[in-house]
Amino acid sequence: MKLLLKSAKIIDPTSSYHLKTLDIFIENGTIEKIGKSLKINKCDREIKLKDLHVSKGWIDTSVSFGEPGYEERETINNGLDTAAKSGFTQIALNPNTNPIIDDNGAITSVLSKAKDHAVQLFAIGALTRRAEGKDLAELFDMHTAGAIAFGDYKRPTSHPNLLKLALQYAQNFDGMVQSYPQDNQIAGNGLVNEGINSTYLGLKGIPAFAEELQIVRDLAILEYTGGKLHIPTISTEKSVKLIRNAKKNGLDVSCSVTIHNLLFTDDVLAEFDTHMKVLPPLRTKNDVKALIKGLKDGTIDMLTSDHTPIDIEHKKIEFEHALYGTIGLESAFGALQKIFSLEETIKFLTKGRERFKIKEPQIEEGTEANLSLFSPGEEYKFSKEHIASTSRNSIFLDFNMKGKVYGIINKNAMAI
């Protein structure tokens, strides 16, 4: 396939073409030529789009679909279509399906279902069997099948010895362990952030301490065992400080933050809108400021939409009974541009590959085309018509956005 992108402004500080507006010729999935006013004979498609910008492909390291088991929420195919329309060329799939992705066969199955799509799917295997937190899953077998990390999605590893064993065992094949940062005995039956708003609304709170205590424990175990630890979706000011200090002390730890935890506080809970019920919960203004600072200074290694489709029967009900989670792929780019510059937004959307040992794309002649296409200037209000997911549970409904995504080019395929 021969593609010609016309007048595309390249946003990639690692490229020699950074901030230049040029034509990009792609043949059979490889960037063959970059230059001014290129003339290509017998081109299959010439792409001219308003205010076209291009960056290396975006990645999201924490995405949930529904298949297998919850196909009514999202199938793998529609989920990958949604990722493509949202500008993502690569996603890491969480193991929270039914059955749980906890063995070689389950990893092989989800990877095979995505093999022909323009979006590349990477699989995260469960850390424990059936994500029950009792016995380690088949980590090495899943690693050989292609799993890039191991963690029980939104379920903390409550038993400290189990985390110790996992970190020790995974070192045999340079595997990375994920540990969700919440002490459930402290969190109890909490629903939202513990604080003034939870008291005012009469909702049971999840103390910031529940997250921070778990991180202190996990870092102590990591210091003892060695190995690689990833702490997904931190949400408090002290969590940032704890991980910053751990990195200064030489621990091999990384962490992520959700996009919605950078934009919303628990002040939005006044209407008891279940779209705002997420885990970790929305915290305070001071937490948001610390998270943004931590992302900018590199303490927080990557961000994620934490895309979690939930069907209407489990979301449009009483706040106490609604499931946690929001979709987020479609809103990621437009939301981030409300708080960051374009270059910062692209930087954050492309971070995380190195930690998961995923090859970094390049925008140079002779390299594989792994590109996200977008226009950064358009402002609009996010509504249901902007949702491509099967589920509609977006925390960003009626939120003012900036920037439009055109699609992606990846794996010698195009989704525009």
First to last CA, the chain: 15
Q: Is 18 exposed, middle or buried (0-12, 13-18, 19+ CB in 10 A)?
A: middle
- The one-letter amino acid at 371: L
For position 269, what pLDDT does the model report?
97
CATH of domain 57-349: 3.20.20.140
Relative orientation angle of helices 237-248 and 285-296, to the nearest 10 degrees: 30
**Max Cα–Cα distance, the chain, nearest Å:** 68
Model confidence pLDDT, tens digit, residues 369-387: 999 999 999 999 999 999 9
Model confidence pLDDT, tens digit, residues 193-211: 999 999 999 999 999 999 9
Give catalytic residue positions. Answer: 306
Q: Which CATH class is domain 2-53+365-415?
A: mainly beta
For position 42, what pLDDT does the model report?
87
Q: What's the CA angle centered on 400, arms 396 and 403, to 5 degrees?
A: 100
For position 122, what pLDDT does the model report?
98
Spatial strand order in the sheet of 176-178:
58-63, 88-93, 120-125, 149-150, 176-178, 228-231, 253-258, 302-304
Residue 33, beta-bridge partner list: 25
Concatenating the DSSP letter of every residue in 166-220 gives HHHHHGGGT-EEE-----HHHHTT--EESSHHHHHHT--EE-HHHHHHHHHHHHH
Model pTM score: 0.97
In the predicted model, residues of the chain with pLDDT beneath 70 are none
For position 120, what pLDDT does the model report?
98
Phi-psi region of 371 (alpha: psi -120 to 50; beta: other; left: phi over 0): beta
For position 41, what pLDDT does the model report?
86
Tokens of 357: 């040992």
Per-domain boundaries in the chain: 2-53+365-415, 57-349
As a whole number of angstroms, the distance between CA 41 and CA 124 comes to 43
User: Cβ(348)–Cβ(303) under 8 Å?
Assistant: yes
